[in-house]
Structure 1
Amino acid sequence: MLVNTDLANLSDLSFRTAFVIYIVALVLSLIHYGRIQSVIDMRRLRDTKAEVDAKELVVAGTGSSTSDSFNEAHGLIDEPFDQELYDKRLAGAKKFSGMAQAMVWFGIALHVVSVITRGLATKRFPLGNMYEYILVMTALAMVIAAVVAQKKNWHTMWPWLLTPMVILMFFNSTVLYAQAAPLVPALNSYWLPVHVSSVSIGASIGLVSGVFSLLYLLRIWQPKGKERGFFGAVAKPLPSAKTLDSLAYKTAIVTLPVFGIGILLGAIWAEAAWGRPWGWDPKETVSLITWILYAAYLHARATAGWKNYKAAWINVLALATSIFNLFFINMVVSGLHSYAGLN
């Protein structure tokens, strides 16, 4: 089967351009992240001053110095809150968040074009090697993340989501890159799109879920309004721990059945191709372990007596095994699934 080199080149160009656009979006989101920190500081100062004013009303006429002591304890001054400066900083932060979100959608459009043109160039689903798998998986993960961030207006999540995506895409375009080519014989089956698509969608959603659990653990360590030190400053713009935990849980609910269906379809394909549904191949084994961890996380999360932060560690472990499966198993370990284009 001949490969359309023009479309293949367009796919490569679109992917690399999307990568650059994501870097620009990351820079803009980091500027927004820094600016929103000062907005949060001013907002908390305003709220504290309001608390002081309310306290002064309570002790008014008694001659008590309670409010003065409160001011000293909180390092407050008697100057009025600068609402105009607050509004200016908030508007500036929103401007950069809007620019970052727009760049993300632009990058996603190019990313999707890269996936489509790769498929058209090879006249098949673009899931034939590691490069194509990560090409599709990162595109799916970005779409999911963008929808969540746009719907909930949580633009402070972008530095945390874009950073692993940019690293993964850089690694994919350098170390894992493979030129467009026909499928290897082992993958030339109608089972390829249904099996690998299910696994890639499940893994993409699981990636987002794992990042949310990591951020939830950071927020638990640095509670809202009680942040301390460097990590406290980093965690300050994040949503509440409850919100992050809810996001991780809801996305994991989708991950479990989709990823499980992908494993099941893979077993059916293995029966047709190799005469057995399961052979404890390294990739099969680690995929099953990852799925069990997602199931354990959801079970622990819904079980009375389990603290949510303990369950979150299981989701983080599932993320780690998924990454281990993606790179170490595909690139180092030999097995029946060693057709990543690197062996």
Structure 2
Amino acid sequence: MANETLAQLSNLFMYSAIAVYMLAFFAYCAEWAFGSRGRVAVHSARTTAPAPERELVGAGVGARPGAPARPGPAERLTGRGRDGARPTGPRDGDLVADQGDVAGGDPQADRYGRIAVSLTLLGFVLHAAAVLSRGLSVRRAPWGNMYEFSTAVALMLVVAYLVMLFRFRQRWLGLFVMVPLIATLGVAVTVLYTESDQLVPALDSYWIWIHVASATASFAAFHIGAIASVLYLFKDARERRAAAGAPLGRGGRLLDRLPSAATLDRTAYRVNAVIFPLWTFAIVVGAVWAESAWGRYWGWDPKETWSFITWVAYAAYLHARATAGWKGRRAAVISLVGFACFVFNYYLVNIFFEGLHSYGGV
């Protein structure tokens, strides 16, 4: 039996969290709107000062007088100069140095951005309380059906954003994270909601804490990679037009306040590369759980099949970057294909396909 008091409290926390996230979304929008009044330079590797001409130097021949010293292996590895200091100023591909300029130098826009971050933190606390009280109401893992899994994924998405915010100071992600976050919670409370209840027998196992938690964190982090890939495609197109001297127009000025295309590409790659082993672990653990529950490790159930397809897509993305040197547009497209497979596997396979995993509670 479920504890109705805790279940109702969970619903109250969830609706409160959604309301606060909505306020945060409007605050992020205000940051971008008021930031448009500031002066923001187009940050692009293609529009910055030209690189110094290369000079062929024979063996044993020193550098020409007055030329800057070429960095050694240690300097190239650490990114520091010979004096041990890091170079100042934004640098393409550097997540910490290249943070973009959402506020556009406008103090009021920056104030709205700080308010948005504060509201995001408040929403996160309410959101976490909702997920926790939902689990306590039935004394189990709070991700036993599609409603609970969706709220848990949304919570981990906020965690991923906060890591990017406080570790790499990427506040520009805030507006773009709020969109899938609010959409996911909106669908959860309107379409996927089910009353708090005990698990179906197939899920009543300690493996749910390991397998589903890993899948939840993976899905949330892949959101960040997909967001960075989408923005990269737009930013790269604008930088190419700038490099070609084509008219940029006023419609794309919001893109000028994002980090450079190289940084967006590096962001997507790092997030996807870091989380891919966890997604691999989730699939392997799921197979072990399947053997315990159904007597076989793999049965080509629709859920299992699309999980494998998603894994192949992200593996192809990482392999292409590591071996073929695919960066930029082609890599971004593969990344988005992998994320689309993940979304298809979660929503469409769970709802419209019949299989051993058809217990989403919809």
Common fold: TM-score over 0.5: yes
What is the identity, as a one-letter code, of the residue corresponding to 1:330? N
Q: How does 1:94-113 map to 2 (within 5 A)?
A: 94-113=110-129
Name the residue aligned to 1:58: none
Counterpart position of 2:8: 9
Counterpart of 1:130? 146
**Residue aligned with 1:176, SS:** coil
Q: Which amino acid in structure 2 is aligned with residue 109 of structure 1?
A: V
Q: Give the corresponding residue for 1:69.
A: none
1:111 positional shift? 0.8
State which of 260, 275, 280 in structure 1 corresponds to 2:300. 280
1:281 and 1:289 map into 2 onto residues whose CA distance is: 12
- In structure 1, the gaps of 5 or more residues are 45-50, 52-86
Query: Going by fraction, where is helix more abundant, 1 or 2?
Result: 1
Aligned-residue identity in percent: 36
Matching of residue 38 in structure 1 with residue 54 in structure 2: no
Separation in structure 1 between the aligned mates of residue 275 and residue 143 of structure 2, nearest angstrom? 19
Task: Give the root-mean-square deviation of aligned CA atoms.
Answer: 2.0
- Report the CA distance shift for 1:304/1:37 in structure 2 as closer, same or farther (over 3 A): farther
| 1:304 Cα deviation from its structure 2 partner | 4.1
Alignment of 1:1-343 (within 5 A): 2-41=1-40, 90-223=106-239, 226=242, 228-229=248-249, 232-342=252-362
TM-score when scaled to structure 1? 0.83
In the TM superposition, residue 327 of structure 1 has moved relative to its aligned partner by 0.6
- 1:36–1:88 distance in 2 versus 1, CA, 3 Å: closer
| Whole-angstrom distance in 2 between the partners of 1:114 and 1:164 | 19
Deviation at 1:181, TM superposition (A): 0.4
The separation in 2 between residues aligned to 1:132 and 1:23, in whole angstroms, is: 20
Distance across 2 between alignment mates of 1:194 and 1:306: 33
- The range that moved more, 230-239 or 89-98, is 230-239
Equivalent pairs, count: 299
Q: Which fold has the larger relative contact order, with Cα–Cα distance below 8 Å and residues 6 or more apart in sequence?
A: 2
Range with greater deviation from structure 2 (232-241 or 317-326) = 232-241
C-alpha spacing 1:316/1:231, structure 2 compared with 1 (3 Å): farther
Counterpart of 1:64?
none
Q: CA deviation at 1:228?
A: 2.6
Residues in 2 aligned to 1:230 and 1:191: alpha-carbon distance in whole angstroms: 53
CA contact under 8 A between 1:33 and 1:156: conserved in structure 2?
no
Q: Which amino acid aligns with 1:322?
A: F
Larger gyration radius, structure 1 or structure 2: 1
Judge conservation of contact 1:36–1:90 (CA < 8 Å) in 2: yes
